Structure 1
Amino acid sequence: MINPPHTLEKYDRLHFSQATRVGDLIWVSGQVGIDPATQTPADGMKAQTRFAFEGIKTVLEAAGASLTDIVELTTFHTDLRGDIAEFVQVKDEYLPDRYPSWTAVGVTQLALPELMVEVRVVASAGSGDD
């Protein structure tokens, strides 16, 4: 189980790990657009997407991997058609090439009413070194 120090309170309170690593495979729990300094949802799709990818980056680093090791991306959007273009712009800043498999799902709600997107990934440590 992978839980960076700043996430231990969430692990204790909600009983889930930020990631699980088995061999080289790493499953990262869904990351959302919450500002870790204020613990409040960011304003807008671009800002929420950045916070989600920064969370993924932090968790992968704690697991001994990086963004280039992502092999699968699953995203959950409360306005899939309306926000997908802004999401893709930011996603491409974090994943500029070696695009992983991706499934985007429209949902009616996420954990907080202000949240617009949740991002989960599967990574294979070291695969981005190819």
Structure 2
Amino acid sequence: MARRALFPAGGPRTTAEQIKLSPGIISGDHVFLTGMTGSGPDGSMPQDLEEQFRHAFDKIGAVLREAGLGFDSIVEMTTYHVGLRDHFERFCAVRADYLSDPFPAWTAVEVAGLRREGAVVEIRVIAATHPT
């Protein structure tokens, strides 16, 4: 089965090349995205949690667009949270700005920490290449 890596147009490849990953990869009828944290375009991690959440979803959107897809193609989402109960409602409010019915399957997991210093969420998604 052929696979194709996805790198958003104009996005930096430095981290992806450094740690040997693809932001997204098409395999068969699905697109698998690497977990996205909420760092800004300059690589800094905002202190404002809503801003972090929006940056993470915006990066997901950029990878999906590279595959010719939108948020409506997401079929499964796993989110990893530092301090889940402290910000879950705020995260859900931001999430609602990006996703609509029918909503993807979703698992939210509390973790002790994430690779990026200051990150409170990492979002991993799987999208269908032929959304219905």
Q: TM-score, normalised by structure 2?
A: 0.91
**Larger % of helix: which?**
1
Q: Contact 1:66 / 1:125 at 8 angstroms: preserved in 2?
A: no
Computed over aligned residues only, the root mean square deviation of the Cα atoms, in angstroms, reads 1.2
Unaligned 5+ runs, structure 2: none
**Secondary structure of 2:106's match?**
strand
Q: Which whole-Å deviations, capped at 9, do the CAs of 1:21-41 have from their partners, x for residues lacking one?
A: 1122000000111001x2101
Match of 1:67 in 2: 71
**Runs of 4+ displaced beyond 2 Å:** none
**Secondary structure of 1:102's match?**
strand
> How many equivalent residue pairs?
127
**Secondary structure of 2:92's match?**
helix
Q: Which amino acid aligns with 1:19?
A: G
Q: Which whole-Å deviations, capped at 9, do the CAs of 1:59-85 have from their partners, x for residues lacking one?
A: 011122111000001000000111100
Taking the TM superposition and a 5 Å limit, the aligned residue runs for 1:1-130 are: 1-4=5-8, 5-36=10-41, 38-127=42-131, 130=132
Q: Which amino acid aligns with 1:118?
A: E
Cα distance in 2 for partners of 1:126, 1:42 equals 34
**Secondary structure of 1:122's match?**
strand
Q: Which amino acid aligns with 1:105?
A: V
Measured after TM superposition, the shift of residue 20 of structure 1 is 1.1
Unaligned 5+ runs, structure 1: none
Measured after TM superposition, the shift of residue 113 of structure 1 is 2.8
Q: TM-score, normalised by structure 1?
A: 0.92
Identity percentage over the alignment?
A: 32
